[in-house]
A and B are shown apart, each in its own frame.
Chain A
């Protein structure tokens, strides 16, 4: 339980279990949930296949806040971000919020700055520009 108290995403303290887990960007969750939603609807004659409120709210949320709509763009976004030394969690925060400047990027993901990694401001800037290009060409 002591891990619970120290939890702080800004310093990437999210517990070992989640640090190692696969993180999903909103746009990725949208693809998964929409697929599942279609499956459920096809079997809708079965009354046991009720959609939970949590599912419905999550689907609405990720649809509203997806930066990339088509599956190719989603794949590209992850591909670009994974070229850089980022933790899964950091990668997804950047993919979700798409900060426009280096300053904003660091404010959103403070941990990219203070882990002494090979990620200087120039690299961050390049990463954010590449990311914004996907959106432009989508």
Chain B
């Protein structure tokens, strides 16, 4: 899910930037530093939308660098266990398939794909029901439920399932085109 939240960061600024456009420098450095990063607690920082406040700077002994506490508003994407969302299939193999929902990767293992769907190898590997009515392949849109998340320093990975009511393919690229 996307959220609009306020975060705080201590920004260190080199003395050469002190001057009329100090604030501008601070903001552009902040954008460069945090946009596109990911933390386990807040998820992916997609975009900064505004600056709430810039606190008083603190001169660091010996270096001349100044630390400013900056509060900023941003759009973040944070997946939650138990959340249901839509995603695009990016890769299919016999272990299951990978899907993407914005910046996050979600793996759905073949144990969590309905039992009546079989893996078909070939040019376009896919999972298909025995009557061929439902097919999951690259670029299919699926609705899935996140059942687990793994967080490391710079990335969040999710495990999902489509083995539940109202989950599964929304549209497959073959029939929709």
Interface residues of A (CB under 8 A from B): 4, 7-11, 13-14, 17-18, 21-26, 28-29, 32-33, 36, 48, 52-55, 57-58, 61-62, 64-65, 89, 92-93, 96-97, 99, 103-104, 107-108
Contact = CB atoms under 8 A, between A and B. Distances in A.
B75 A92 contact: no
Interface string B115-153: 000000000000000000000000001010010010000
B82 A10 contact: yes
Contact of A55 (B3, B28, B35, B143): B35
B86 A33 contact: no
A23 B83 CA distance: 13
Contact of B1 (A32, A61, A65, A92): A92
Contacts of B4: 21-24
Contacts of A9: 1, 80-84, 146
19 contacts: A7-B80, A17-B5, A18-B78, A23-B2, A23-B3, A25-B2, A53-B36, A53-B103, A54-B102, A54-B103, A55-B35, A57-B100, A58-B44, A58-B102, A64-B88, A96-B85, A97-B84, A97-B86, A107-B164
A54 to B, nearest CB: 4
Contacts of B141: 64-65
A58 B77 contact: yes
Tell me the interface secondary structure of chain B in the complex: strand
B56 interface: no
Contacts of A55: 35-36, 46-47
Interface residues of B, number: 39
B7 to A, nearest CB: 10
Contacts of A103: 165
Interface of B: 1-5, 28, 32, 35-38, 40, 44-47, 49, 75, 77-78, 80-86, 88, 100-103, 141, 143, 146, 149, 164-166
Contacts, number: 116
A35 to B, nearest CB: 9
A33 B100 contact: no
A52 B78 contact: no
A108 B141 CA distance: 17
Contact of B46 (A23, A54, A64, A104): A54
Contacts of B85: 96-97
B84 A108 contact: yes
Given A23-B4, A97-B143, 19 more contacts: A4-B40, A7-B81, A7-B82, A8-B82, A9-B82, A9-B83, A10-B82, A29-B75, A33-B47, A36-B47, A53-B36, A53-B103, A55-B35, A57-B100, A61-B101, A61-B102, A92-B1, A96-B86, A97-B85
